[in-house]
Structure formats: structure tokens, C-alpha cells
Structure 1
Amino acid sequence: MTHSKTHAQPHVTLVGAGPGDPELLTLKAVKAIAAATVLLVDDLVSDAIVTYASPSARIIHVGKRGGCQSTPQAFIEKLMLQEALGGENVVRLKGGDPFIFGRGGEEVEHLRAQGVKVTVINGITAGLAGVTSLGVPLTHRAHAHGVLFITGHAKQDATDAVDWAALSHTAAQAKLTLVIYMGMRGAAQLQAALLHGLDPHTPVAVIQHVSLPTQRHVVCTLNDLHHTVVRDQMASPSVIVVGDVLQGLLHIEQNNQRLVAAG
């Protein structure tokens, strides 16, 4: 099936591909991917999702992964603009949700400033999919009055870095679940800072390769976070979830460890 260049006004669609499992795509996302004539695909988007593209579509991989060599953001924005102005039906396929640490906001601003129409299609973010896969909610009337999604990797030239120590006090007082993206390289520093305000026994889960067949996780206390990450060789891409919503899961993990130790 061949798709035509249908938009009179230059147009780009930012599509959230979710955490990786193609069954977590929205119907709207699948339709947009299938209709695209050009797809710019992030590194974390699984091959199974790209198969929804038309055989006639041109697929351009523009890798973006923390800690690895990445395609410069300015180049990606220039490429999107160039293809849209050329009349292509452009889809920017992004892991998770375009507006949750996906730099979607920057891309929308750039494209609209150049007169390009932008549509955004949400995707399930890894922080939500990860805890759901463990049977844990992000909010709970008894344990968490809210949830905070936050990045552990700020811009290199940022002068307004997160004050994690202050945030830890806020999280404790307001009973917030913390969902930390791109925090694995700084896990030791995060642990030390969060211990300023959070109880050392606060449960933590680290979930790697969310929703993929290779997904794995560890559950521990905040006081043991760095030790556990090193011991179990947890690595990116992972999300770190901190909060009392994980209490039940932590108790199960601790009981299992006691049974193993008892032999």
C-alpha cells in the first residue's frame, strides 16, 4: 500500500511508542505510524513497533539514549522540518510519551516557529508501565497522595539542578511517589541525597527494559539502593521508583530472601 503526501500545510506527528511492548500502543498511534511516509525513529523504540509502518515508508533511525553517542537534537529538528516542507507525512516515533522527558516540547516549539503544524499522540510512559507490571499503583489513598516524574539527568550546562535533598523532605511530607528517569549513573548520589528527608527503609524498585521480554527488576530499601544496583548489575534503560506504594512488594521480597537464607 502506497501512502501519498496528504498535508497541504507542512505537518509532523509526534507519536509516543510507549515503553516497548507493541501491545501497549494506542490505536491512534498505530494509525499514525501506518500512514507515515517518513518515520524518524528513536533508539529505544522496539523493532516490533516499527513493523506497523508501511512497506513504502522511509525509516530513519535517529538514536537518542542517555550515556551513549546520540544523534544531535538540532539535526533531528532540521531533518523533521526538511521532510515536512518537502510534503512528506512525517512521524517522529519516540519511546514512552513525547511530553515526558522525550524532548517533545522542544520539537513542537521549533516546528511551530517554522510554520509547521504539529500533532502529538500520547504513549504510555515507562514509569507507569513499569510499576503496573509489578502490580503496584503509583498513588494509593493510604500510601501516596501524588506522584512526581523527575529526571536524574539534567542538561549538562544546567544551573538549576534538582535539589534532591530538599525534594526528599517534600516527598516525605506530601507522601509522594518518586519516579526517576535516567538516574542509574547517579544512583549513589541520589541515594545519599534522598536519605536527607526520606526514611532509610523507604521501599525502592529499579525496573530495567520495561515491558520488553528482557524486563527485570529489583526491590530494596533506599538505604540499600546503590549496593543492590551494583550487586544485581542493573543498568540503563531503567526507572527508579521510590515510595511507600512499594511496601507490600518489599515485604514479599524480604520474606523470599529469608526463605532462601533458611535453605
Structure 2
Amino acid sequence: MTALFGLDLGGRRVVVAGAGHVASRRVRRFLAEGADIMVVAPEASDDVRRHAQHGDLEWRERGIVPSDLDDAWFVLAATDRPEVNDDVAAWAAERRVFCIDASDAAKGTARQAAASRHGDLVVGVVSTDKPDPARIRAVRDAVAAHIDAGEVDLRRRRAGQGRVILVGSGPGDPGLITVRGRQALAEADVVVTDRLGATELLVTVPYDVEVINVGKSPDTHPVPQDQINRILVEHALAGRTVVRLKGGDPFVFGRGGEEAHACIVAGVPVEVVPGVTSALSVPALAGIPVTQRGISTSVLVTSGHAGADAAAVAAMAAGATVVVLMGVAALPDIVAAGLAGGADAATPVAIIERGTTADERITRGTLSDIVRLSGETGVKPPAVIVIGDVARPELLASQAAATPARRE
């Protein structure tokens, strides 16, 4: 009968007999768990050699002997010789140390689960019959996909310490949130959300999750930042898991640093889940690479709230890519500052409204006419402004046409 347990191998000695393909795969798993790994094998794969060179593990370049198991908490017998694996499993049994016998699971005392991690939960699958790795991996992947799609309520059932998770929801398309971000939503008792970002994700949370909208628009700030900080801290101190769902990335003009600071000062555990920032993803999905070999090797991301600062002006004048977030209202000042600072009036500009969504619209021009064109087309926030040669229309198509075809 096989029972499924969770073992904490962090800092504990794990002995691996063999260093071939099978052992290398398992070694990566043990490394991820923080184990103290000793590999014993006359020869080793390139992967094991590199880990040994970096000091990630100890490699004893010889055959295994019984005394190698004396300080072990866990053993993996994965040589290319079944009789050696069986011997190692027997030595481990004598020492009452659990062992996986890669040649014959029936001769070992443990089986490694196919596992997936979901926040602070690990889900594992093992077989109780003859080993069938492809089968248990298929089951694990199906279960993991179901959980990571937000289909499982991951909220804690027992009272515990509250916490705050700052989640970047990405630029707008709900498919661009990270796996960890979606997991965090499934763990939330309270969601404090912005107006921007992938708010469509909120339809996936259970009805009894409290959703607090603190969204801001360019001219309306109904909930001041200090009050948002208090909301996060108060709910967490009441023992709740609070997800602060923010557009883009929490630390890219998202004031996530201020919210994390408020939690730290109040003694509230806080986790930051990075998001796909609109500064890079919105141009990319619109076919604009913010860096491109031979055109632009640097990019400056700035906020438009204060107009064009000295760094942005210098970047425009130098021909670097400048990406402006929240800059629609300040566009005339940004353009004027760039031109006054020496930027070429013919520099291409692209304004991408509601990027990554079905309502995306792109307005193109140059520094000389983009203010007039944006007024004529009625550009409105949210929008990402890209200034630089990378914003030239059909840039990628024209470069492809200029590249000679390879002959096979």
C-alpha cells in the first residue's frame, strides 16, 4: 500500500546513486526543494557536472558504497545497472532511510510524485501499481491546468495570519496574467481592484469574495492612496488574504512599492506577483519592438504625469525609444520639450489606446504632427505612447523584405 506524504528535504542530505539522464531529471527536483545533494557516480551528465562546478551539489566521482548512505535522509538509486540500484535500495532499508529504486519501484520504499505547485499548495500524483511516469504526469498536468485556470477555490478554510498579495494583472487581456497571479485570485478572501488591467478576471472569483473597487481615472481619484493602504492592512490584520489587483506590473508606476511599504510597517506579510507591464507588452502586440538591432538598443519608460523630464528629452534627442505611460493629457508638453531639446521632428510616434483589448486603436504620426492627429482622432486614455524609429509603420515587414533569403 502506497501512502502519499509531503517531505521537507530543505537542507537535508539526499544521496543520488548515478548521474545519467534519469538521475539528472530527479536532481533538478531535489535542487528546487533546497536539498543537500551528494551524487555518487564514476561518470556524470553535463547537467550534473555543471551543477557540481557551480557548487549546487557534491559529486563523488566513483562507484557508490554503503557508507555513502550513513548521513542520508533520502536516497535515489538511479544508476544504469539494476543490480546496483537494488543493492542501494537494500542498504537504505537497513538504515531505515526511504529510497526510490529507479529500476524496480517494488524494491524501493518510496515513489516520487508527479507534482505541481500552486502558491502555498503542492498537488502530487503517484501510482500504486507498476510505475507509469507518463500516465501520472498526464494526470498531474490535467489537474494543474484545472487549478491554474481559476476553476478551484483555493481559499484557506482555517483561520490564520492575514496577508496581502500584490498582483500585476497585465495590460488588459486576461490571458496575459501570470499563472501565479491567477492562483492568487483563487486564494483571495478580498480583492482590491483598480479600474485598469484585466478586470475581466473578477468574474472568476466566488460570489462571496469581497471586491473593493478603488479605481482611478486621470481626473478622478475617489479613493486616496493612503486610504487604499489602510484597506489592505485592515483586512489583512483581520486574518484575510487580500489580493491587490493592479494593472500592468505593481512596481511600474503602479504605486505598489507604497502599498508594500504600508504592509511591512504594519507587520503584514506581503507577496509581490510581477505582472506583464503595458510599457513593453502593448507595443509588442501592436507589432512595435521597443528595441531592434540596428535601430534602437535602449528604451526609457517614463510617466507622462509630469510632462517630459530631462532623461526623456535626452533619450528622444539621442534617438532612443521612449515609452510614455499615462501621457495623453501631457502629450503637447512632451512633444514641445522633445523638439526644444533637439529631437528630430520626423521621429515616428505611435499612440496605442486600450492595448491588448478588442477595442485597441493605434494613431501614428511624427513629433511634428502627432499632437494635431491625436486631437483629430480623439485619443483618450488609457494609452501607451511610443516615440522613436521603432514606431515607424510596417517596420518589421520592411526589415524582412530587406533581409536576403537564406539558401539551404
Scaled to the shorter chain, the TM-score interval is 0.7 to 0.9
State the Cα deviation string for residues 27-77 of structure 1 (Å, max 9, x = none).
111100111010001111344211232333111111122222331111110
Shift of 1:6: 6.1
**Residue 237 of structure 1 pairs with residue 385 of structure 2:** no
Q: Is residue 2:392 matched to residue 1:247?
A: yes
Q: What amino acid sits opposite 1:27 in the alignment?
A: V
- Asked if the contact 2:312–2:322 (Cα under 8 Å) also holds between the matched residues in 1, the reply is no
Tell me the number of residue pairs that the alignment of Structure 1 and Structure 2 aligns. 244
What is the distance in 1 between the residues matched to 2:308 and 2:290? Answer: 21
1:5–1:89 contact (8 Å) kept in structure 2: no
| 1:35 aligned onto 2:179 | no
Q: Any conservation in 2 of the 1:13–1:91 contact (CA below 8 Å)?
A: yes
Summarize the alignment of residues 1-263 of structure 1 with structure 2, pairs less than 5 Å apart: 1=153, 3-4=155-156, 8-154=160-306, 163-164=309-310, 167-173=312-318, 175-196=319-340, 197-249=342-394
Partner letter of residue 45 of structure 1?
A: G
Listed one character per residue, the Cα deviations across residues 167-192 of structure 1 (whole Å, up to 9, x for unaligned) are: 3234433x421110111111111111
- The offset of 1:211, in angstroms, is 1.0
| Alpha-carbon shift at residue 251 of structure 1 (Å) | 11
Separation in 2, partners of 1:250, 1:2: 45
- The 3 A distance-change label for structure 1 pair 101 and 5 is farther
Kindly state the Cα deviation for residue 115 of structure 1 after the two structures are TM-superposed: 0.8
AA matched with 2:332: A
Q: Which amino acid aligns with 2:238?
A: G
**Secondary structure of 2:394 counterpart:** helix
Q: Aligned equivalents of 1:6 and 1:243: distance in 2?
A: 54
Measured after TM superposition, the shift of residue 10 of structure 1 is 3.4
Name which of structure 1's ranges 94-103 and 64-73 shifts more when overlaid on structure 2. 64-73
CA shift, 1:130, in A, is 1.6
AA aligned to 1:194 is G
CA contact (8 A) 1:96 1:126 kept: yes
What is the alpha-carbon distance in structure 1 between the residues aligned to residue 283 and residue 217 of structure 2? Answer: 22
Residue 5 of structure 1: how far off its partner (Å): 6.0
Higher relative contact order (CA 8 A, sep 6+): 1
Question: What secondary structure does 2:313 align onto?
Answer: helix
**3-state DSSP of counterpart to 1:178:** strand
Decide whether aligned partners of structure 1 residues 7 and 200 sit closer, same or farther in structure 2, where only a CA change above 3 A counts. farther
Q: Alignment partner of 1:51: what SS?
A: helix
Q: Is the 8 A contact 1:35 1:54 kept in 2?
A: no
Q: CA deviation at 1:163?
A: 3.0
The answer to whether the Cα contact below 8 Å between 1:188 and 1:226 also exists between their aligned partners in 2 is yes
TM-score normalised by L of structure 2: 0.57
Question: Which SS does the other structure have where 2:204 is aligned?
Answer: coil
How far apart in 2 are the matches of 1:7 and 1:15?
23
Of all paired residues, the percent bearing the same amino acid is: 37
C-alpha distance in structure 2 between counterparts of 1:250 and 1:228, whole Å: 20
Q: Which runs of 5+ in 2 are unaligned?
A: 1-152, 398-408
Secondary structure of 1:150 counterpart: strand
- The letter of the residue matching 1:168 is V
2:333 partner SS: helix
Cα 1:47/1:145, change in 2 over 3 Å: closer
Distance 2:312 2:212 in 1: 39
* CA distance in 1: counterparts of 2:264 and 2:279, whole angstroms: 29
User: Which moves more between the two structures, 37-46 or 89-98?
Assistant: 37-46
Secondary structure class of the residue paired with 1:205? strand
Q: What root-mean-square deviation, in Å, do the aligned CA atoms of Structure 1 and Structure 2 show?
A: 2.1
| 2:84 corresponds to | none
Q: Write the distance in 2 (CA, Å) between the matches of 1:232 and 1:250.
A: 23
How far does residue 201 in structure 1 lie from its aligned partner after superposition? 0.5
Aligned residues of 2:300 and 2:312 also touching (Cα < 8 A): no
TM-score (norm 1): 0.86
Q: Tell whether the 8 Å contact from 1:219 to 1:249 is kept in structure 2 after alignment.
A: no
